């Protein structure tokens, strides 16, 4: 996992992140998962799908057409996942918070390619108190999950 760009002005410039990805690829690693660097602006459910496509495009240019890349963040539908895979920009789709909210998401997506996961990308899944585990703590999503299980 490589954060390839941070917040404009005080974060990692995308050009440096892409150069780091190229150096990593040349070192012999098997794959790079493209993500944001610390200091990046908060992700938003309103962001275009997939949110970090522009980072993947810069990294793809830096590492060449054959190096395996994965992309995380902002995939809401299997249609978008398939489109980005078919484009050849990346070879793998990575999911994190959607799986925290719905651990059975792969089965739901397999059964219904139009299914849109419930994760709102609010980042309320991380522990807020000592001893609290990782899990979806968003009241809106928890209500929807309860409704689907009823």
Write the pLDDT tens digit of every residue in 22-50.
999 999 999 999 998 765 555 555 666 78
Residue 89, pLDDT score:
96
Our measurement of the distance from residue 45's CA atom to the centroid of its chain's CA atoms, rounded to an integer in Å, reads: 12
Residue 85, pLDDT score:
95
Which residues on adjacent β-strands are paired with residue 35?
3
Mean pLDDT of 79-106: 93
Whether residue 113 sits in one domain with residue 55: no
Which of 75, 94, 113 is where one domain is finished?
Answer: 94
Which of 94, 115, 140 is where one domain is finished?
Answer: 94
Which spans in the chain are helix H? 14-26, 53-63, 78-87, 97-101, 105-111, 139-149
Whole-structure pTM over 0.85, yes or no? no
Whether residue 73 sits in one domain with residue 137: no
Residue 18, pLDDT score:
96
Range of the domain at 119: 98-150
Question: Per-residue pLDDT for 77 more than 70?
Answer: yes
Whether residue 84 sits in one domain with residue 20: yes
Share of the chain above pLDDT 90, in %: 45
Instruction: Please name the residue that has the structure tokens 């790079």.
Output: 32
Question: Per-residue pLDDT for 116 more than 70?
Answer: yes
Residue 123, pLDDT score:
80
């Amino acid at each position: 996992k490589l954060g390839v760009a941070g917040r404009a002005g005080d974060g990692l410039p995308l050009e440096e992140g892409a150069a780091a990805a190229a150096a990593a690829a040349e070192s012999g690693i098997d794959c790079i998962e493209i993500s944001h660097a610390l200091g990046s602006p908060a992700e938003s459910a309103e962001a275009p799908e997939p949110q970090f496509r522009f980072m993947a495009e810069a990294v793809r240019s830096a590492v060449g057409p054959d190096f395996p890349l994965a992309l995380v963040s902002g995939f809401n539908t299997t249609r978008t996942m398939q489109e980005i895979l078919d484009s050849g920009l990346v070879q793998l789709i990575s999911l994190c918070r959607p799986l925290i909210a719905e651990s059975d998401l792969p089965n739901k997506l397999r059964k219904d390619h139009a299914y849109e996961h419930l994760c709102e990308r609010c980042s309320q899944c991380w522990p807020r108190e000592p001893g609290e585990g990782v899990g979806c703590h968003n009241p809106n999503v928890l209500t929807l999950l309860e409704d689907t299980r009823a």
